[in-house]
Every structure is written in structure tokens, then in C-alpha cells.
């Protein structure tokens, strides 16, 4: 990073140069330069608006347009010299524009402040990033829906308290994950709608005396309209907090997925195999295949949650309007964006490639008396009160533990010692296949319902456009 222009654009009021340490300490260009694309787009819209209201001539507008596009090309080619002395991305670009086109470059800042400029840049940046994140999220959902269809008949144990509860299908489990992601998508969509208003023209805090057209610049930038209040426009960071809250919840969901994948890939479970390209080995134990991607994502939720708390704390005591504190919004926000986007990409790439060990998941569902509730329901159907049926099944399970037999492995005579209402048809409900097939209702785990739910989930994705 080069200090190519140490002259401060605001230096007229000051009688001495900024302390070099303070200069470095207060500069943000090392991290906010990633906003260059949105800063240039915001400046192009502002310049077009200034020309529309007669502040800039058509020739001056063209000079500014050409100069800004040349600067964009310099940045993208890695040929732009960023200066700490110029503090941030905005002043670096403006100084370079003035260097390129002369006095016309100094006219670009007419009717605006860095306060509304940065507020506009961040909204433009986050709007674009939410679109990318939603794309990765949808790609993951598509993978889960396809996997659910593929494994609609694959039986596995369903758990409560991490103890075997009732048999479910693997496809049903994947669609449970999809429902979490569907809510995440909705939160991100709502967040994008609320942030999509333009602060441009609010200037420092009170607006400007120039005859600006805020609706015009908002339209040029694809905003739904301008913000309503100039004070709120430059100080509002609710949208960054809201996004981080949605990201924290999405990362929590991914962390829950990761916990299950880590368990399922262990030798003790062996429910699934992850592709080698998503795993690593051990430097000392040659047999190891570690699920590093799920483990790392499970760990990354902590940093995202921490950034949410940082942003909430940043804003909790700020008076209106803009304060220098707000410079601290960017690094946590940028890291939340990067972490969520990359975590979703990793999952979207990984999930379609997993292999389910169907024989293992089925055998696991046979352990732990997972059809006990089916036996109770059967007895209720024969006229026994549920509490009496519950007691009968409890005694049957105790017998099974003593004899090392699952309910489905007992003979009719063995079962009838606990209730003479049990008949030969009991074995229709004690099998794993019979158990899952019996949950044949909307939202249930029956294979036919899993396929229907997958169709509905896919239709929701298609309806997004």
C-alpha cells in the first residue's frame, strides 16, 4: 500500500498534520477497499443525478464517467495504489479521479458526504452478497431434495436425546434440514427487502441545499426508493445487524448438520461416507479419514455469533447521527458474509456426493426397540387404553432387553404373555418398513410422503424465479 497522496481533502481547518500512528489507527482502506465496485457505481449514479439537476454539465459528467471506469479497470488489474493517508476507499478513488481529470473530479462530491456515501456502498455490497448467498443456499437445498428422493425408502433410526426413538427414512431426515434452510432463505430475502433503500443524498446528516433528485439516483442504483429521514439514513446499521442475525441462525443450522455428519461418519455409526475430497488425514495415524469440512463449519458458527454481538454492542449507545464508531461495522460484516457464503458453498458441493450405508442404518434402527410406539398404537387399536398399552409395551421391552431380542424377533407366544389382545397381525406393524409406511400423512416419514414433500419443496424453489 502506497501513500501516493498525503494531502487530506478535509485538511483546511487543521494546523498540523495527523499523527502517523493515528493515521494508521483510523484508516479503513486496508479492509474497505473491497467496496470499490459499489463505491464507483454509487458515484456514477450520483454524478448522473447532478447532471440531471444541472450541477454538472454533460461534458463534465462524461469526464467523470470515463475517469471512474478507468479507475475500476486499474483496481481490477491490480494497478491501483491505495493510500493509508487517504483513509478509506472513497477518498482514494476521489483523489485518483481528480488526478486523472482535474478540477472536474472535485465536483463529484457536491451534495453528498462520506456518511451517506459509505451507507450507500454497504447497502449495495450487502444486497449483492445476499444474492450470491441465496444462490448457494438454494443449490444446497436442491442437493438435499435430490438426496431425499434418492433415499426415500432408506430406513434409519430417528433419535430423541440421541437415543433410538422411532424409525424414519433418511430422505425424511434430509427434508427436515431443508425446512431449516427454507426459513433461512426467507429471512435473507426479507433482510434484502428492508435494506434496499438509498441513503444517497442524506449527506452528512441533514440533507443538502442543492436541488438533488434522490428518487432518480435511487432508481439508477436499483433501490426501491430513497430513505425517509436523513439523520437515520447515515446512522442506521440495522440492516447489517439483521443480516448477521440471519447468518448466525443459518450457521447454527449448518452446525447442527455438521454435528450429525461427524457422528454418522464415525466408525461407531458408519451411516454415511463422505467423499475423500472433503476430508483430511492424520499426520501420525494412517487409517484416519477426518470430516474436516463439517468440523470446521461447526467451529465457524462461533465467529459469526461473535460478530453479531459485536455489531449489537457497536450500536447500543450511539447518539444520532453518524459516529466514527461505525467504521467498526465493516470487518465483522465482511467476515460474516465470507463465512456464511463459503460454508454454504462447501455444503452445496458436499451433500450430493455423500453415500448412505443403507444396511448399516437399517440395522441400527433395529436396535433400541424403535417400533415400541407402533406396538402401543396397535394395542390401542384393539381397544386397550393408551396408558395400559404403554405398560404392556414397557414390560415387553424389559423382556426383550433380558432376552436380547427386538420386538419384531419375538414369537407370538412371547408377546401374548403380556397381553392376550395381541394377534398374528401384530407383525405387520413391528417391522421397520411397516412402521415408516404407517406414518402416511402430510409431513410424515412414509416413503410416499417423502416423495410428495420433495415435490413440494422443489416447487417452492422453482417459484422463487
Active site amino acids? 161, 282
Cell numbers of 403, please? 432376552
What's the CA gap between 295 and 280, in Å, rounded?
Answer: 11
Given a contact cutoff of 8 angstroms between Cβ atoms, the answer to whether 290 and 282 are in contact is yes
Hey, CA dihedral for 349, 350, 355, 361, is it positive or negative? negative
CB neighbourhood size of 257 (10 A): 21
Evaluate the omega torsion of the peptide bond into residue 321 and state whether it is cis, within 30 degrees of 0.
Answer: yes
Given a contact cutoff of 8 angstroms between Cβ atoms, the answer to whether 1 and 92 are in contact is no
CA–CA distance from 191 to each of 39, 99, 246, 247, 304 (Å)?
Answer: 21, 39, 8, 11, 17
CA–CA distance from 2 to each of 24, 79, 80, 82, 111 (Å)?
Answer: 13, 11, 9, 6, 29
CB neighbourhood size of 323 (10 A): 16
Given a contact cutoff of 8 angstroms between Cβ atoms, the answer to whether 458 and 178 are in contact is no
| Beta-strand pair 155-160/355-356 | unpaired
Given a contact cutoff of 8 angstroms between Cβ atoms, the answer to whether 265 and 357 are in contact is no
Helix (H, G, I), strand (E, B) or coil at 56: coil
Helix (H, G, I), strand (E, B) or coil at 87: coil
| Beta-strand pair 163-169/272-273 | unpaired
Residue 461 DSSP symbol? H
Amino acid at each position: 500500500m502506497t501513500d501516493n497522496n498525503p494531502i487530506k481533502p478535509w485538511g483546511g481547518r487543521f494546523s498540523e498534520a495527523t499523527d502517523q500512528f493515528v493515521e494508521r489507527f483510523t484508516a479503513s482502506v486496508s479492509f474497505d477497499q473491497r467496496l470499490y465496485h459499489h463505491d464507483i457505481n454509487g458515484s456514477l449514479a450520483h454524478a448522473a443525478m447532478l447532471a440531471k439537476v444541472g450541477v454538472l454539465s454533460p461534458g463534465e459528467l462524461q469526464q467523470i464517467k470515463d475517469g471512474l471506469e478507468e479507475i475500476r479497470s486499474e483496481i481490477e488489474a491490480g494497478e491501483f495504489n491505495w493510500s493509508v493517508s487517504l483513509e478509506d476507499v472513497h477518498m482514494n478513488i476521489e483523489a485518483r479521479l481528480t488526478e486523472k481529470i482535474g478540477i472536474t473530479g472535485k465536483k463529484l462530491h457536491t451534495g453528498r458526504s462520506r456518511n451517506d456515501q459509505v451507507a450507500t456502498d454497504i447497502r449495495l455490497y450487502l444486497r449483492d452478497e445476499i444474492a450470491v448467498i441465496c444462490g448457494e443456499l438454494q443449490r444446497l437445498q436442491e442437493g438435499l431434495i435430490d438426496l431425499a428422493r434418492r433415499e426415500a425408502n432408506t430406513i434409519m433410526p430417528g433419535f430423541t436425546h440421541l437415543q433410538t426413538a422411532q424409525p424414519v427414512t433418511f430422505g425424511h431426515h434430509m427434508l427436515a434440514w431443508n425446512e431449516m434452510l427454507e426459513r433461512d432463505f426467507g429471512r435473507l430475502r426479507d433482510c434484502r427487502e428492508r435494506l434496499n433503500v438509498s441513503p444517497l443524498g442524506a449527506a452528512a446528516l441533514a440533507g443538502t441545499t442543492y436541488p438533488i433528485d434522490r428518487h432518480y439516483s435511487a432508481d439508477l442504483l436499483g433501490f426501491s426508493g430513497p430513505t425517509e429521514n436523513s439523520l437515520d439514513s447515515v446512522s442506521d446499521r440495522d440492516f447489517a445487524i439483521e443480516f448477521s442475525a440471519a447468518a448466525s441462525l443459518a450457521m447454527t443450522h449448518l452446525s447442527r448438520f455438521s454435528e450429525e455428519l461427524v457422528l454418522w461418519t464415525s466408525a461407531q455409526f458408519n451411516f454415511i461416507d463422505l467423499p475423500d475430497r472433503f476430508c483430511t488425514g492424520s499426520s501420525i495415524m494412517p487409517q484416519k479419514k477426518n470430516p474436516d469440512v463439517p468440523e470446521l463449519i461447526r467451529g465457524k458458527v462461533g465467529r459469526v455469533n461473535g460478530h453479531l454481538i459485536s455489531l449489537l454492542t457497536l450500536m447500543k449507545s450511539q447518539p444520532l447521527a453518524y459516529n466514527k464508531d461505525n467504521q467498526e461495522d465493516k470487518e465483522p460484516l465482511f467476515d460474516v458474509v465470507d463465512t456464511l457464503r463459503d460454508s454454504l458453498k462447501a455444503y452445496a458441493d458436499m451433500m450430493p456426493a455423500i453415500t448412505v450405508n443403507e444396511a448399516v442404518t437399517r440395522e441400527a434402527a433395529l436396535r433400541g426397540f424403535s417400533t415400541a410406539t407402533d406396538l402401543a398404537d396397535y394395542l390401542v387399536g384393539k381397544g386397550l387404553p393408551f396408558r395400559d398399552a404403554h405398560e404392556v409395551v414397557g414390560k415387553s421391552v424389559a423382556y426383550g432387553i433380558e432376552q436380547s431380542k427386538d420386538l419384531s424377533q419375538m414369537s407370538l407366544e412371547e408377546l401374548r404373555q403380556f397381553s392376550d389382545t395381541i394377534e398374528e397381525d401384530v407383525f405387520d406393524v413391528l417391522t421397520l418398513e411397516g412402521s415408516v409406511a404407517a406414518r402416511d400423512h402430510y409431513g410424515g416419514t412414509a416413503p410416499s410422503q417423502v416423495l410428495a414433500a420433495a415435490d413440494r419443496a422443489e416447487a417452492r424453489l422453482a417459484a422463487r424465479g
